[in-house]
Each structure stands twice: as structure tokens, then as C-alpha cells.
Structure 1
Amino acid sequence: MSEKRLLDANEVCIYLSLGRSRGVEFAKSIGAERKVGRRCLYDKAAIDRYFDSLIGVK
């Protein structure tokens, strides 16, 4: 079974090791927020790409 790609607010905060406000704010600021119906989910792949770009991984 593969890992989840879309994380909810609590999961993204755990993944980023940030509090809820900062975690959600950060994920939105890098364009990782995805709206699914009324839910806001956060794209783990987009977060990983952002950090990879900071360290020069292609």
C-alpha cells in the first residue's frame, strides 16, 4: 500500500513538525493547499518538491 498524498491539517502539521497555525499557513504559502469539496487538504508531494528545491535536489 502506498503512502497518502493528501494530508489533512493535523497530518501536515505533524509532517512539518509545526503547530497548526504555522503548518497550515506554511503549506498554503508554498501552494500545497488543495480544495476537495469543502475540505482543505495539503499535497505532500508539493511540500517535498519545495524542500527539494531549497537543497538543489532535482
Structure 2
Amino acid sequence: MRSRKKAVVNSTSRLMDTEELREYTKLGRNSAMKLGEEVGAKIKIGRRVLWDRTKIDQYFDRLTGVK
């Protein structure tokens, strides 16, 4: 059986992969990817997909009213 690699969220990097996005938002894979696409945080570099932490944070700030 394959063991899963635990994603470690590095708060200093702006871009994160899908596993880091899942850990950061505490959502499942599909929900995290849907959220990232809806807020415009998806960045494709070749075949690699990365997510912009700044745009995710801005979305949550607007959602919660934090300034």
C-alpha cells in the first residue's frame, strides 16, 4: 500500500502545490482546487499547477471582513 506524504505548509513561499493548498485550507482535493480556481489563484507553469497564497488570503480576508 502506498503511504501518503504529509504536506508541510511553508508560510514564506507565495506559491504552493495542490497538496499544500489542501493543508492550508483544510479542504479536500476537489474542494480546494475548486476554491483556488474560483478566486483566480491558479497558476500553470508548463504542466505544473501552483496556487497563489496571496490571492487565497485576500479571498478569505474579504469573506471574513478582515482588513
Is the helix fraction higher in 1 or 2?
1
The residue number in structure 1 matching 2:5 is: none
**Are 1:53 and 2:62 matched, yes or no?**
yes
Which structure 2 residue ranges, 5 or more long, are not aligned?
Answer: 1-10
Moved more, 5-14 or 47-56: 47-56
1:9, CA displacement in angstroms? 0.5
Q: CA RMSD in A?
A: 1.3
RCO (CA 8 Å, sep 6+): is it higher in 1 or 2?
1
TM-score normalised by the chain length of structure 1? 0.86
Identity of aligned residues (%): 46
For the residues of structure 2 that align with 1:54 and 1:22, how far apart are their CA atoms?
Answer: 17
Runs of 4+ in 1 over 2 A off after TM superposition: 55-58
Which structure 1 residue ranges, 5 or more long, are not aligned?
Answer: none
The residue number in structure 2 matching 1:17 is: 26
TM-score normalised by the chain length of structure 2? 0.76
